[in-house]
């Protein structure tokens, strides 16, 4: 047996054991991408670097066997930087979008492509569930949002943006609201203001099992959405319907209730947190002891916490904005921050994860994307904007979506580690990007420009006896992975296509 230490913990392992295996035996996680337990080691990604402190050398832990007396550390600043650089080199040649451009442009960060795919399949209830993960008032916003998402839609310069905003409204109008809040936690939060930000904060708090009590001097909830928007743009019945959904969850509405400094102090005593969402701040509110910035209360950009412990500020209390979706997004993020605070977590709000991006589509790429969409100009509702789409129009318009998001968005190691190590995609960007290709197999999709040449697919197809399988094609920097002899991907992957897709550490190979 060989004795080494990993992060100062001793371990004894058989000769031939790799450093990675020894570390795993002690419960230490080391990131890997080109490593696969079924296969012989083939070090290429260098993400698994660790340090032998006896000589200060960085070693690829997946392939180096232990040696007597090694003292290994699995993370320090130098290792972190080496992993970050390794990831940035891989990203310099990586052409793909993790999240679709529309999702990134939406202030609430709604998962638009998933909504579109569900609507195209006529699954309105499921589509509504997706929307409500980020937007508490889908039908209302479907009437009033200026749709920054559509400005970023890949189809916009070609044949018109997908009509995302109206599709979201249809999800709200046609889908069944079946929210199931978490078990009550016993925590309670006061929300001052019942406009977009306040309603959104209350909705997400209640869904998290936190009792939300709204206070507003107005007789009816809705803020400016009720008082400033005409009936022919936003029918009151739509607003009332979506507010009643929030009320049914258990949110308490205390209307006709003016909150001045004394009442604010009482709310701070009575509740675990207070969220300020009452619109532009008044002179009286400026006396509440909350730091003031140029245009409103001063709060942290990510978690909305003010200088007063447990007091959060969102929406127009921070700065004037005509975008209700921005206020809604802030209400949701503040609810997440309150939950984190009440559960002893780092109070970070809802930070954006790492996103690989490649910018605008060029014309040849459009031909690749249209393979899984339809050639059609943007539909306009036959019965006018106020009426919105019919169900058939919804399905036809949603089918125009190009599926710009990556299929491996939630299980791509490149994305996960790029996020963890703060990799910057543009750091080693050196050239014009390669054009995107999409190659369709019966059950999987291959996107060569997302490949990191780890070779797992090559080794797996060889191990399992695929007649053609995958191989390295070309040389040097231009090498790529493909089926030998120009055979089709269906011929290359006849036996283990889905196994290979699941083993690929990126979205280069993914199930349809």
Residue ranges that bind ligand SF4, judged by CB under 6 A: 94, 96-98, 100-102, 112-113, 116, 153-155, 162, 164, 356, 401-402, 404, 406, 408-409, 412, 414-415, 450-457, 481, 504-509
In the complex with ligand SF4, the residue whose CB is nearer, 243 or 404, is 404
Cβ proximity to ligand SF4: between 180 and 360 the closer is 360
With a CB cutoff of 8 Å and minimum separation 6, the contacts of 360 are 154, 157
**The tokens 């392992």 sit on which residue?**
13
From CA 301, how far away is CA 64, in angstroms rounded? 45
Kindly report the number of other CB atoms within 10 A of residue 76's CB atom.
12
Q: From the CB of 101, what's the least distance to ligand SF4, in Å?
A: 5
Judged by beta carbon, residue 25 or residue 434, the one nearer ligand SF4 is: 434
Instruction: Name the residue among 347, 260, 274, 258 with its Cα closest to residue 308.
Output: 274
Nearest one of 72, 90, 93 to 30, comparing CA atoms: 72
Phi and psi angles of residue 189, each rounded to the nearest 5 degrees, phi first: -135, 135
Output 149 or 338, the one with its CB closest to ligand SF4: 149
CA 342 from centre of chain: 23
Least Cβ distance, residue 376 to ligand SF4 (angstroms) = 12
Q: In this complex, which beta carbon is closest to ligand SF4, that of residue 217 or of residue 453?
A: 453
Q: Could you tell me the smallest distance in angstroms from the CB atom of residue 132 to ligand SF4?
A: 18
Please state, in angstroms and rounded to a whole number, the distance separating the CA atoms of residues 270 and 168. Answer: 38
Contacts with 187 (C-beta within 8 Å, 6 or more apart), sequence order: 209, 210, 211, 272, 342
CB of 115 to ligand SF4, least distance (A): 9
- Tell how far CA 220 is from the center of its chain: 34
Nearer to ligand SF4, 154 or 226 (CB): 154
In the complex, the smallest distance separating the C-beta of residue 298 from ligand SF4, rounded to whole angstroms, is 35
User: CA-based Rg of the chain, rounded to a whole angstrom?
Assistant: 27
**HEC profile of 184-245:** CCCCEEEEECCCHHHHHHHHHHHHCCCEEEEECCCCCCCCHHHHCCCCCCCCHHHHHHHHHH
User: Between 8 and 486, whose beta carbon lies closer to ligand SF4?
Assistant: 486
- What minimum distance in Å lies between the beta carbon of 127 and ligand SF4? 13
Nearer to ligand SF4 by C-beta: 212 or 456? Answer: 456
Q: Considering beta carbons, is residue 183 or 477 the nearer one to ligand SF4?
A: 477
The length of the chain is 512
Closest approach of ligand SF4 to the CB of residue 152, in Å: 6
CB of 40 to ligand SF4, least distance (A): 15
Nearer to ligand SF4, 143 or 450 (CB): 450
User: For the chain, how are helix, strand and coil distributed in percent, rounded to 5?
Assistant: 35, 10, 50
Q: CA–CA separation, 75 vs 51, rounded Å? A: 8
CB of 104 to ligand SF4, least distance (A): 9
Instruction: Using CA atoms of 140, 143, 146, 152 in order, give the dihedral in degrees to the nearest 10.
Output: 90
The DSSP symbol for 413 reads H
Minimum distance from residue 348 beta carbon to ligand SF4 (Å)? 21
Give the residue from 419, 422, 362, 490 showing the smallest Cα distance to 98.
419
* Nearer residue to ligand SF4 within complex by CB, 61 or 114: 114
Q: How far is the CB of 441 from ligand SF4 (least distance, A)?
A: 12
Per-residue exposure over 224-241, b if at least 16 CB sit within 10 Å of its own CB, e if not: bbbeebeeeebbeebbeb
């Amino acid at each position: 047996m060989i004795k080494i230490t990993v992060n100062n913990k001793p371990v004894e392992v058989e000769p031939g054991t790799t450093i990675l295996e020894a570390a795993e035996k002690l419960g230490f996680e080391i990131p890997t991408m080109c490593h696969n337990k079924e296969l012989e080691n083939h070090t290429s990604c260098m993400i698994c670097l660790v340090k032998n402190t006896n000589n200060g050398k960085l070693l690829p832990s997946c392939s180096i066997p232990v040696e007597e007396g090694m003292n290994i550390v699995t993370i320090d600043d130098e290792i972190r930087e080496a992993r970050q650089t390794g990831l940035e080199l891989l990203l310099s040649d990586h052409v793909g979008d993790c999240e679709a451009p529309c999702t990134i442009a939406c202030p609430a960060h709604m998962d638009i492509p998933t909504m579109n795919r569900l609507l195209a399949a006529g699954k309105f209830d499921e589509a509504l569930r997706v929307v409500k993960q980020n937007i508490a008032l889908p039908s209302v916003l479907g009437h009033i949002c200026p749709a920054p998402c559509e400005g970023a839609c890949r189809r916009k310069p070609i044949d018109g943006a997908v009509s995302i905003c109206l599709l979201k409204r249809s999800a709200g109008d046609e889908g069944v609201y079946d929210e199931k809040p978490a078990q009550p936690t016993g925590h309670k939060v006061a929300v001052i203001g019942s406009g977009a930000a306040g309603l959104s904060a209350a909705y997400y708090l209640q869904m998290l099992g936190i009792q939300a009590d709204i206070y507003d001097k107005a007789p009816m909830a809705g803020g400016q959405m009720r008082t400033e928007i005409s009936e022919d743009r936003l029918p009151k019945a739509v607003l009332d319907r979506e507010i009643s959904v929030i009320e049914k969850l258990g949110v308490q509405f205390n209307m006709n209730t003016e909150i001045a400094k004394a009442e604010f102090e009482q709310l701070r005593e009575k509740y675990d947190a207070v969220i300020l969402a009452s619109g532009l701040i008044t002179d009286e509110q400026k006396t509440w002891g909350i730091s003031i910035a140029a245009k409103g209360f001063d709060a942290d950009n990510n978690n909305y916490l003010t200088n007063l412990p447990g007091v959060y500020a969102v929406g127009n209390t921070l700065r004037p904005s005509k975008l209700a979706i921005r206020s809604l997004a802030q209400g949701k993020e503040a609810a997440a921050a309150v939950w984190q605070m009440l559960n002893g977590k780092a109070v970070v709000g809802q930070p954006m994860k790492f996103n690989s991006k490649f910018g605008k589509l060029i014309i040849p790429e459009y031909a690749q994307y249209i393979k899984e969409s339809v050639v059609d100009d943007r539909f306009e509702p036959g019965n006018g904007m106020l009426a919105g789409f019919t169900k058939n129009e919804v399905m036809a318009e949603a089918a125009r979506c190009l599926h710009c998001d990556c299929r491996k968005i939630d299980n791509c190691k490149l994305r996960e580690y790029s996020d963890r190590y703060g990799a910057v995609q543009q750091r080693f960007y050196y050239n014009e990007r390669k054009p995107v290709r999409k190659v369709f197999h019966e059950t999987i999709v291959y996107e060569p420009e997302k490949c990191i040449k780890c070779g797992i697919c090559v080794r797996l197809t060889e191990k399992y006896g695929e007649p053609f399988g995958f191989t390295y094609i070309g040389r040097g920097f231009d090498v790529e992975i493909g089926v030998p002899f120009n055979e089709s991907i269906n011929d290359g992957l006849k036996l283990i296509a889905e196994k290979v897709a699941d083993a690929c550490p990126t979205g280069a190979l993914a199930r349809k």
